[in-house]
Amino acid sequence: LTPEDAAEMVADAVIRRPQRIATRLGIFAEVLHLLAPKIYEVVMNTAYQLFPDSAAAKGQKGGAEAPTSSEQVAFAALMRGIHW
């Protein structure tokens, strides 16, 4: 989600005042969690394990980021959205 997309989403909410604002990925995740909570848990755990903390999150200054693996790229492409 780009800053422009986020601004457009907020402006749309202010103007139209919809009951709900959600991305397609968010709606998919909500439905998956409702219908198959274990599968949702596996997907979220996989994401957690695939993407380790950054150097900044570990408290390291100026640390180089780990190279991106093909698994990370594939997962991010499948779950395209604001998180990756």
Mean pLDDT over 17-43 rounds to 88
CA atoms of 28 and 23, how far apart (whole Å): 9
Q: Are 23 and 81 in contact (CB under 8 A)?
A: yes
Does this model's pTM top 0.85? My answer is no
Does the pLDDT of residue 84 top 60, yes or no?
no
Question: In this predicted model, what pLDDT tens digit does every residue of 45-72 receive, in sequence order?
Answer: 988 888 877 777 778 776 667 788 888 8
Question: In this predicted model, what pLDDT tens digit does every residue of 7-21 receive, in sequence order?
Answer: 998 898 899 998 887
Q: Tell me what pLDDT residue 58 has.
A: 76
Mean pLDDT over 23-27 rounds to 80
CA 38 to chain centre: 19
Q: Tell me what pLDDT residue 35 has.
A: 96
CA 21 to chain centre: 16
Q: Give 80's Cβ-side CA count (13 Å radius).
A: 3
